[in-house]
Structure formats: structure tokens, C-alpha cells
Structure 1
């Protein structure tokens, strides 16, 4: 039996967390982003999405494995900027990540603190932004990475403040 809430992170000890930025520069794009902790101890994913050179995305991900067996949703306490983001989970086994990720897209309110629940059974498989309809269902016991992405041709500055991420 698992606990009803599992704190994935509240960013209180970032030194032990493995967050990595990946922007469209890996394919010639010009988007730029960063990930930092603010005075309140919340993570801030911010930057600018550029559509130049066929770009258009910025992401940050954590390389800590998770076993979310028995949980129904990811719950994120955040403050957004009115834009749409994706929360992504990548599955696989040690040294063998799956080629696709599972994502859930959510809209944010501009400047308001909110709690968003992302049902695990509604995450969909994607590969390079395209749906993978024949992929197996998300295996919540084999999550290798998780993180945030902004894309969908949302050019311009963005800012997502994340207070905590939980499994419920």
C-alpha cells in the first residue's frame, strides 16, 4: 500500500536534483531558457521561445527515476504566465530509455497561484512533438525522467514558477 500523497520535489534541496535544460538549439533553433530557484524557494523555468531557424521549444527535465505505481495523478502547484505547457514523463529501464515520452498539456493562468492535476491515464505518447498512437500505455513503474516543455509555436518570453510536484 502506498501513501496517498508522494512529494516528488519541492525544490528545497536542488543540489541533489539533476535538472537539465534542452532547447531547440539542439536542432539549430534560437530559443533560450534557464532554471533557477527564487527567494521563496520555488523553481522558475523561464526564457524566450524563438521560431527562427525552425525552432520553437524549450524544456527542462529531471533525471531522477520514479515509481508512481498506484498513484492516479501528478499534482503541480505553480504560478504561470497564461501560456500552455507540457509535463512529460519518459519511461524505460536503466540505460534503455524508450524513444517516446508521455505528455500532458495544461494551460496556466497569468500570475495566479494554482494547483493542476494531471491524470496519469490521460498522458499520451509523443515523439518529437508528434503523437505515437501505437505506443504502449504509460508504465508508471518505469519513469526515468520528468520535466516541463513549452512549444506549440508560442513565440516570446515565458515564465513558469513551480512550488512543488506531487503524485496523488
Structure 2
């Protein structure tokens, strides 16, 4: 299928071959009750679950690790997703740390219910965050992206579904 990002470098296409390992990190790590996780099926990443605000919860996330990416020759990521009308974040991780834990470089994107969308996330839109708090730095090191992930934390209880067809560097 031809798209506006056909010339981009494909980072993930969820074919099952040479794909990194995906894992869930939810608010249960701090007492919350949200559930969610990754499923690879039909050549796509399905990130689905239920967001709960109980016990000061309210987030669910998935991350892929096992590959390192040098994105220094790109200006942005492009993603093809089908969502549920909710807002998600894409997150990149390097070896940068704050208080001994990994910093996320995050940007939000909106989805339309049951509609495939291609979205461009410029690297300059990524902001360093740590446990939900914005940080002043450090800047992202695009030469060594160690993890890629998605997060939902829109303060709306209920089921969520994000399907990711591909992720490209452009």
C-alpha cells in the first residue's frame, strides 16, 4: 500500500520476524488498577486494556526493547494507527536517567474512532518526562534509542484500543 511515508525507513512493522519484545508497564507499579498490554497479531501491534483512576492510578503503557535505533538521520517518526478517539503518547527512551530511572521523551497524538490515520511526530515535539512530570532536559540523543513505547493517561476511565500498523523514521 502506497502512502505519504512510503520512502521512510521502517523501524517496526509487526511481522513477527526480527521484532523487539513488547512488555506492559501499568499503574499497578504504584498501586493503581489499570490493565493493558501488547498483542502482536495480524501483522499489527494491539495495545488494549482498561484505564482505572482507582488508587491514584490512570496509566497503561507498552514498550519494545531489544533493538537500538540510530535516528540521527531523520527529523520525525511517522506512525499508522487505528484508535478509539482517545489521546495517546508515543515515547522514546535512551540511556538518559533522572533519579536513577529512565527518562521518556514523549509526544501526544489524537486518534479518531475506528479510523486508520497516518501521523507524523517531529523529534522537536518530544519532551523529556519522568513519572508524568515534565523535565527541563536533557535533550534526546537520537543516536541511541533503546526503547519505543506507547502510553495512555488521559484521565478517562474505561476500555481503550490502539492498533499500530507501522512505525517509520522519516
TM-score, structure 2 normalization: 0.88
Instruction: Tell me if structure 2 keeps the 8 A contact 1:121–1:138.
Output: no
- Aligned residue for 1:65, secondary structure, equals strand
Structure 1 residues 15 and 155: CA distance shift in structure 2, 3 A? farther
- For the residues of structure 2 that align with 1:15 and 1:53, how far apart are their CA atoms? 38
Following TM superposition, where does structure 1 have runs of at least 4 consecutive aligned residues deviating by more than 2 angstroms?
none
Alignment correspondent of 1:78: 81
Q: Could you tell me how far 1:14 is from its partner in structure 2?
A: 5.7
Alignment correspondent of 2:32: 29
- Aligned residue for 1:36, secondary structure, equals strand
Q: Does 1:11 align with 2:3?
A: no
Alignment correspondent of 1:143: 145
Instruction: Tell me if structure 1 keeps the 8 A contact 2:37–2:61.
Output: no
Deviations 1:78-102 (A, max 9, x none): 1010000000011117xxx863210
Q: How many residues align?
A: 160
List alignment gaps of at least 5 residues for structure 2: 1-6
How do 1:112-131 and structure 2 match up within 5 A? 112-131=115-134
Alignment correspondent of 2:57: 55
- For the residues of structure 1 that align with 2:112 and 2:95, how far apart are their CA atoms? 33
Instruction: Tell me if structure 2 keeps the 8 A contact 1:99–1:127.
Output: yes
Instruction: Tell me if structure 1 keeps the 8 A contact 2:12–2:19.
Output: no
- For the residues of structure 2 that align with 1:67 and 1:166, how far apart are their CA atoms? 12
Query: Quick check: 45-54 or 99-108, which moved more?
Result: 99-108
TM-score, structure 1 normalization: 0.89
> How well do the aligned residues superpose, as a CA RMSD in angstroms?
1.6
Structure 1 residues 20 and 58: CA distance shift in structure 2, 3 A? same
Deviations 1:67-124 (A, max 9, x none): 101101110001010000000011117xxx8632100111111111010000011100
List alignment gaps of at least 5 residues for structure 1: none
- For the residues of structure 2 that align with 1:26 and 1:53, how far apart are their CA atoms? 11
